[in-house]
Structure 1
Amino acid sequence: MKTVLITGANKSIGFEAARQLLQQGYYVYLGSRDAERGQQAVDQLHAEGLTQVEPLAIDVTNSASIAAARETLGQKTAVLDVLINNAGILGTPVQPATSASVAMIKEVFDTNVFGVVEVTQAFLDLLRQSPEPRIVNVTSGLGSLTLHNDPTWKYYHVKGAAYQPSKAALNAYTIMLAYELRDTPFKVNAVDPGYTATDFNHHSGPGTVQEAAARLVKAATLGPDGPTSQFFSDDSAPETGISPW
């Protein structure tokens, strides 16, 4: 049975991705910053008859928490097949480049970039034990620098000094990681779940969590001939599904 760790999975897209992977026969370690909320999410899945899941307390902005989560998981399994770096934050709703708080920008980067780097590095040894390891970094179409410089893009005016740059940085890290692992069985990709109705955006997005999660699951379950070092986005690039960086 393949195993997967999903950070920030106690609600919304991460929770639905856990559900869909459980339905595909994966064993899910449901990562949650708050242990109680993680257990509640697991209890809900158990009530649905999806029992191959357990919570894993992990705060991606806390080195001690990441180390503890790695130790805990290592006591449960010697192999991790999939890591989905899903945990992320938006920061304040308005983020003008001329006046956004540096403290707020750092806070967003701590979760969206540095947290991903540290979690990935912490669990890489377990992933290396898998014959087909997969890393999915949950990004946003708003992380595309190419599209942000295109006045015809539908989200051209959706600018911000923290969230958008953090996702651009995450995309860059994805490229570097995929390159370093290019001669191995790893598939490392960035996935834009799309503009989805969640707590993250006060349920303003037109997409559903089911559709968004399916995009993550698709990248998490790529076969050996699947692509690596790609920026998947059905929203920003509906014709090809591949967004420009």
Structure 2
Amino acid sequence: MMTPLLIDALTISEGRFEKPCPALVLKMMLLNGEISSEFSEKIKNQALLLLAIYRKLLLALETDLRNVKDLKNSVKRRHWGKVDKVQDKMVVADQLRLKHLDLEEMILFLNTQNLLKKLPITFVQKLISWAPPVVSGTFLIENVLAGYIAQKLLPLEKIKVKELGKSVQPYFHLADFFVFLPRLEELYQKHQKQIVRLAPTAEVALALTDFGQAWIYRLRSRP
């Protein structure tokens, strides 16, 4: 079940930014099943690319974590979204931490590694700017998947995060986000051809979608 807590952990709480951001647009898509016309085309396009990478990442993680059970809505504590004060902070990406789960401390899983190695560093850097992690200390609280990607692909880089003004314990581990796969799949099916054209390169489009190489080049060559 996509609870408000879990949706905010995947994306971001309202009020973290003065202006709309791609992570917030993705949140609205997950809640409403469509993209609102109130957002700019640029932000909507960035949100679609976030959608595509999150879908592919969760599919890979689901295969790698096949035997890990999710928390099944066991979280009943106060929502950290009530912590209004956040400040920008630079953190070395390797220091970012997830809720403890022994399997997640392994270097990388096979399917997940195969996906992540296809993503150019420049694209990953943009992705992190579209969904800056929200942290408490170095624990990932919101935009968790973006933080996970940064931890794995930009380990030595300093990235900008938003630090909560109050200490909060992480509530979710990666397996909890598998509940989003049906909705992400539904949205992906609606926008898959657009995602192919939006990807910065054909290689990235190949990584983010289910199309073969011939179809990728055909779709990207159309006006």
Q: TM-score, normalised by structure 1?
A: 0.23
More helix, by proportion = 2
Say which structure, 1 or 2, has more relative contact order (CA 8 Å, 6+ apart). Answer: 2
